Structure 1
Amino acid sequence: MSPLSRLQLVMIGALLLSFSLVPLAHSQTPPDVAAAHLDEVPRTSAEIARIRDVTRLTADFSAPEPFEANSGGGATVRARTTADAFSQASGNMAFERELDFKVGDGLFRKLWVSSPSSTLVSDGLGPLFNARSCQACHLKDGRGHPPEGPQDDAVSIFLRVSVPSAQDAPLSEIEAFLAGIGDDSPRTRPDPVYGGQMQDFATAGHAAEYRFDVRYTEQTLALSGGETAVLRVPTYRAADLGYGPLAPGAMLSPRVAPQMIGLGLLEAIAAGDILALADPDDADGDGISGRAQKVWSFEHNRPMLGRFGLKAGAPTVREQSAAAFAGDIGISSPIFPAAFGDCTEAQTDCRAAPDGTSGSPEATEIGADGLGLVTFYARNLGVPARRDVADPQVLRGKQVFYDTGCTACHQPKFVTARLRGQPEQSFQLIWPYTDLLLHDMGPGLADNRPEGRATGSEWRTAPLWGIGLTQTVSGQQSYLHDGRARTLLEAVLWHGGEALPHRQQVIDMPPADRAALIRYLESL
């Protein structure tokens, strides 16, 4: 398989795998989905029982739970009141490891330049790209900004693209395995010209692929107590196409860059604990049918549990980082070594452009060491401590959150695996408020674009830790996969599908309870 086809596969997400998932509640990680890159210490039976007790949902809302303020366990950091709130190293990091974190921070902020250049360690940008640095999308390590309308430049948002693939279309051997031949789910491929991701910038002499265009209409929703909420309904378009029309049936999906905190802790959750929460057939009858995403790891050459990305299309922080370097910046790495990034065979000038591999012993624009430092940085961006956990309104909001059933998807807490070599993430009680599973969110949020096991209306449950600091870090609020929601209440009211009954409860509840719910979310 060519390097480009590897990248294209990851750009359209993990494709369907044909083996089953076996949930094991708080038990050892099943070997077929164990994190191949982590050195896990098996849990003892006593530890399994202890973890089961400590992660059980509470029914007492009179006071905070033990350690509830420490969202990231021992890795929790002080909640700053500045835009640097998401840019601190894990609170339990040893002094001698802080240098790696700081160097990784420098690489995360680094501005890449086009080739040829005298700065051989910084060239290789593009030729097609969305940003010149990681920080340019993940502003201050937080969420990106969507444009406010058709006249605004898109900030930290891009379009994924794929086209339907006929069930009888020829596939390579690995594509056939990944697609799970015989599965009823639709298959998709990258656009033959634009690839799997559309880039709105290009280096000198090359045309950008498109201009991001969004139009909003407003929809007023009546709430109990005479209150109302105004929801923005977006319509997206790839305007000013630089390489001709998209393929017939092209499916576009907007993506705002998510916040970066706590990624290493999410990676350290035992796969078995995630699978224990999956209920694809809704066997318990609660209307929630969380499904695990299975992906192919191009680094480890094996299937793994998907955790990262808005549809859980990447298995590890390192692989997600490498895919972002390739698709967002056009920088090759040992995992995705194509120096021309997401340029397709139809974009011949793009493929023939100078690259930044000269002088690199690995013939990639960022080497294994550099990628490792960025990965270490991303794994160790600390989760800020909770605020006002004992405030009476916050405690009331917590009860509303639990009673409304939000915890069915936004699982409050886990205990991470014991890990050799990763003391910051090892055996920590964390409060991420996610199950890392795929859920049907209904037609209102659907992008109608399948990605791996995820249908066009399924999304991974977003972690909620740190969400109350969005305004502090980003200078504005924008939530959900495309940033359409301008407040936390708007984000809640966009929930549909499996969450539709819970949304209706929020609409119908007394205004004081609704305010308490939002106050609780703001404390996370």
Structure 2
Amino acid sequence: MRKTTKAVLIIATLSTGLYTACRKADISGNDTNPDSEWLSGGSQTAFDEGSGAFSHIFNSLPEHLERVHEIGDQQFEATFVSAPAPVNPGLGPIFNNVSCSSCHVADGRGKVPGTGESAANMLFRVSIPGDTEHGNPKPVPGFGDQLQTRGLLGKQREGDVQITYTTQTFEFADGSTYQLRTPHYVIIDPYTTLPVGILLSPRVAAPVFGLGLIEGISEADIVAGADPDDKDGDGISGKPNYVWDVLKEKKVLGRFGWKANQPTLMQQVAAAYNGDIGITNFVFPKESSEGQTQFDADPGYNYELSDSLLHSVEFYIRTLAVPARRNADNAVVKQGKDIFIASGCIKCHKANARTAVNVALPQLSNQLIHPYTDLLLHDMGEGLADNRPDFDASGTEWRTAPLWGIGLTQKVNGHTNFLHDGRARNLMEAIMWHGGEALPAKEYVRKLSKNDRDALLAFLGSL
């Protein structure tokens, strides 16, 4: 297996303890504390700068829970095939990919298709104007809420997406230039006529490590950071998204997904199996193709993914550790951190959070973590708008993406494509795409000297 072995876990745990003792770490939550910030995931921090940095199990899990994590790991990587089959049957009949790991490569970030390549590894949310009774975006008749770009033999996919880019050149205040590419999406070869006014929103797969810690942050702490009316006058008006919890049958706080449109890891995982792979489960028991010509399920069929396997995958993701900071005491990195704070980036990408007490899983309990997010929705301006509302998120609003581990993207995933649709080809482009509430921070960066811009990138690379 490619995940951390028990022996390595012991070494990592000892390393954490020795490092903490040597640095006399004070986990007070102070943003400028140089000791705690090395431990991005608190006690659930992995010391690995290599290609497996996003794939480490939590420290100090009991043996029986390590086994659940391992089963979930195997299922996360399992390739589904069409039924009947002795192993992993149930793929499709229409789908986006064949396994979780096909999009979340090495538990990390998905890659944007190159010129002329199929967009099949991206996810495209679709809807028509309006909301359902629960506040969801209204599904497209004959297509549902996402475009299925693949189909089984003899089954017609819903369509594909053609991606083209236009590139513009801009200037920093010192006269040096940078380029931004704007993506353009056109649905091609739809299996049936698309309605007028369809809303299309592209997504690339986000990293899955550290999500258990994010789920462990209390709702009260997240909501406490909201300021939807900008009463403090700082130009930042973050707000929570309240979304439909399928199991609880009520609206609750959303915290996962590019627009914070999923409330729990269980619902996120179950929805991905159902929508992305065409695998039914106890949370989403109906085929995504139900009501369409591709639908082929037996009326008496059982769930295609057992409850135990679904729970194991959810637990696997819940217990993925966070890679440690690198070079946090480097002078240039410190300079970059000061710039990150002075620019105002820290107002949304908040360095610190603390998980709530968790008696059921002590490894998640009361951890000071450094995800660099407030998990709130922010208006990012027209440049990044998908113009597709999602529950309380408007067409220009996105959840603040966590930044932890972002400096290891090239090492783990082999690319540096960022933002919700991967349009940014590096971190500086991602910054310069910021608008709306983040426009003052972007302008601050645009006016920096090259030395200061490089320092800012060094800081981000250390996360």
Query: Quick check: 1:438 aligned with 2:377?
Result: yes
Gaps of 5+ in 1: 1-52, 59-63, 167-174, 180-186
Deviations 1:426-476 (A, max 9, x none): 110000000000000000000000000000000000000000000011111
Q: Percent identity?
A: 45
Q: Equivalent of 1:79, from 29, 33, 48?
A: 48
In 2: Cα distance, 1:211 partner to 1:492 partner = 30
CA offset at residue 212 of structure 1?
2.1
Distance in 2 separating the partners of 1:254 and 1:458: 14
Amino acid at match of 1:484: R
Q: Which moved more, 1:94-103 or 1:508-517?
A: 94-103
Q: Render the CA deviation track for 1:223-270: whole Å, top value 9, x for unaligned.
A: 13232111111101111112x221111000000000111000000001
Kindly indicate whether the alpha-carbon contact (under 8 Å) linking 1:138 and 1:156 is maintained by their aligned counterparts in 2.
no
Q: Which of 274, 280, 285 is matched with 1:326 structurally?
A: 274
Deviation at 1:353, TM superposition (A): 4.2
Return the match for 1:299 from 225, 241, 247.
247
Which residue matches 2:130? 165
Change (3 A) 1:76 1:68: same
Cα deviation, residue 94, structure 1:
3.2
Name 1:101's counterpart in structure 2: 69
Provide the C-alpha distance between the structure 1 equivalents of 2:156 and 2:297, rounded to a whole number of angstroms: 13
Quick one: which of 289, 301, 309 aligns to 1:343? Answer: 289
Whole-Å separation in 1 of the counterparts to 2:289 and 2:224: 40
Partner of 1:460: 399
How many residue pairs were aligned?
437
Match of 1:152 among 99, 114, 117: 117
**2:142 pairs with one of 168, 171, 193:** 193
Name which of 17, 25, 29 aligns with 1:55: 29
Give, in angstroms, the shift of residue 156 of structure 1: 2.7
CA contact (8 A) 1:470 1:477 kept: yes
For residue 310 of structure 1, report the CA deviation from its aligned partner: 0.4
Provide the C-alpha distance between the structure 1 equivalents of 2:61 and 2:41, rounded to a whole number of angstroms: 12
**Cα offset for 1:193?**
1.0
Aligned to 2:12: none
State the Cα distance separating 1:56 from its structure 2 match. 4.6
* Aligned 1:123-272 pairs, distance under 5 A: 123-149=89-115, 151-154=116-119, 156-165=121-130, 175-176=132-133, 178-179=134-135, 188-242=137-191, 244-272=192-220
Deviation at 1:344, TM superposition (A): 4.4
Kindly indicate whether residue 447 of structure 2 is the aligned counterpart of residue 508 of structure 1.
Answer: yes
Look up the equivalent residue of 1:141 and give its one-letter code.
D
Contact 2:97-2:120 at 8 Å conserved across structures? no
Counterpart among 415, 431, 441 of residue 492 in structure 1: 431
TM-score scaled by structure 2? Answer: 0.91
Partner SS for 2:456: helix
Distance in 2 between residues matched to 1:377 and 1:492, nearest whole Å: 32
What is aligned with 1:22? none
Pick closer, same or farther for the CA change 1:316–1:410 going to 2, 3 Å: same
Unpaired runs of at least 5, structure 2: 1-26
**RMSD of aligned Cα (Å):** 1.6
- In the TM superposition, residue 155 of structure 1 has moved relative to its aligned partner by 5.4
What amino acid does structure 2 have at the position aligned with 1:308?
F
Match of 2:260 in 1: 312
Q: Partner residue of 1:288?
A: 236
Say whether the 8 Å CA contact 1:93–1:424 is kept in structure 2: yes
- Equivalent AA in structure 2 for residue 133 of structure 1: S
TM-superposed CA distance for 1:521, in Å, is 0.3
- Over residues 288-316 of structure 1, what are the superposed CA-to-partner deviations in whole Å (9 max), with x where a residue is unaligned? 00010011111122321100010001111
In the alignment, the residues of structure 2 paired with residue 304 and residue 452 of structure 1 have an alpha-carbon distance, to the nearest angstrom, of 11
Give distance in 2, aligned partners of 1:155 and 1:479: 18
Q: Could you tell me which amino acid in structure 2 is paired with residue 109 of structure 1? A: E
> Which range moved further: 132-141 or 91-100?
91-100
Distance in 1 (alpha carbons) for counterparts of 2:401 and 2:77: 25
Per-residue deviation, 1:79: 2.1
Q: How does 1:2-13 map to 2 (within 5 A)?
A: none
Q: CA deviation at 1:354?
A: 5.3
- Between the aligned partners of 2:62 and 2:453, the Cα distance in structure 1 is 42
Residue 342 (structure 2) aligned to one of 397, 403, 407: 403
Distance, in Å, in 2 between the alignment partners of 1:57 and 1:146 is 34
CA distance in 1, matches of 2:58, 2:361: 11
**Residue in structure 2 matched with residue 70 of structure 1 by the alignment:** 39
Name the aligned partner's letter for residue 74 of structure 1. S
Q: 304, 308, 320: which one pairs with 1:369?
A: 308
In structure 1, what is the Cα distance between the partners aligned to 2:290 and 2:72?
Answer: 30
Deviates more, 1:442-451 or 1:225-234: 225-234
Q: Deviations over 1:350-379 (max 9, x none)?
A: 223459x85xxxx21112111110001011
* 8 Å Cα contact 2:93/2:296 also seen in 1: no
8 Å CA contact 1:412, 1:431 repeated in 2: yes
Contact kept, 8 Å, 2:49 with 2:408, in 1: the verdict is no
1:158 & 1:310 partners in 2: Cα distance?
12
Shift of 1:497: 0.4
CA contact (8 A) 1:104 1:374 kept: yes
1:122 maps onto 2:88 in alignment: yes
| Aligned equivalents of 1:328, 1:230: Cα separation in 2 | 33
Contact conserved, 1:224 with 1:511, CA < 8 A, in 2?
no
Distance (Å, rounded) in 2 between the aligned partners of 1:352 and 1:396: 59
Residue 92 of structure 1, CA deviation: 3.6
